[in-house]
Amino acid sequence: MKKALFFILLTGAAIAAGAQSVSLSYNRVDYANGDTIHFTTDEVEPMFIPTLNNSDTEHDSMQASCTAIDADGMQVLSLCAGVCLAGNVSPVFSMPAGREYTQLFVDFEITTGDTGLFLLKIYSTQVPNDTLSVYIELAFTGTHAGIAQQDNRPLSLLPYPNPAVGQLHISYTLPEGCENGRIVMRNLMGATVREVAIQQASGTVTLDLSQLSHGVYMCGILTNNRLIGVKKVVVM
């Protein structure tokens, strides 16, 4: 992390020089151009979800990137803005004038590292100097091995499409020795919003999402009083 601090000192002035129509907040705290956001998580695939706001009187066509500066054992899996793209660049998205935008998600993966530093840029595709840049200092407090790795279980869980609109299909395989369980979908507060029993070792179930609010949910298999194979699902 020390070498990253030197990088910040060298680049801070250049970042602060840009003009921006977009502003950013996280957990109801506003961050200015060049600020550092401390993001602490115990998940091996955490998702960073800022709130953006467009001060222009017209909508803007925007894009985002998230680049690792000092992140051994950590990486950006995908950036989502309406749809998800693998890698560290988001799809182009429209920022409504004078309104919040909450559909930008940065999906990280943590394998061995405990701390990492990333540079998140949100920029106009039409005005080159209309750019907001903030640093994300990612601190991991959990264990690096997931449940499936710890128990050496041949389980699988694949929710699709993701992001989902209206319906979510979930292809699954239960761990060896389990004949039944439940597919459980929870919001980020831990409340169960959808649940369906499964009676076969493998198969596909469909969940109705039409009454759910837009946002991020966790979907997993509940068996033997344990929630395993957890995946993030974005509902649009």
Domain residue limits, the chain: 2-140, 147-235
Tell me if the pTM is above 0.85: no
Task: State both tokens at 115.
Answer: 């701390």
pLDDT at 19: 60
Contacts of 8 (CB under 8 A, 6+ apart): 36, 135
pLDDT at 149: 41
DSSP string, 10-25: HHHHHHHTSB-SEEEE
How many of the other CB atoms lie within 10 Å of CB of 142? 13
CATH class of 2-140: mainly beta
Pick the CATH number of 147-235 from 3.40.50.280, 1.10.8.420, 2.102.10.10, 2.60.40.1930: 2.60.40.1930
- As a dihedral over the C-alpha atoms of residue 124, residue 66, residue 25, residue 216, rounded to 10 degrees, the angle is 110
Task: Give me the tens of pLDDT residue by residue for the chain, a chain 236 residues long.
Answer: 545 554 554 454 444 444 678 899 999 899 999 999 999 988 777 889 899 998 877 778 999 999 999 998 899 988 888 777 778 999 999 988 888 888 888 988 888 889 999 999 999 998 878 899 999 999 998 776 544 444 444 578 889 988 899 999 999 988 777 778 899 998 877 788 999 999 888 899 999 999 998 888 889 888 877 777 788 888 88
Whether cis (ω within 30° of 0) applies to the bond prior to 175 is no
Are 2-140 and 147-235 equal in CATH topology? Answer: yes
pLDDT at 154: 56
44, 50, 43: which is closest to 66 by C-alpha? 50
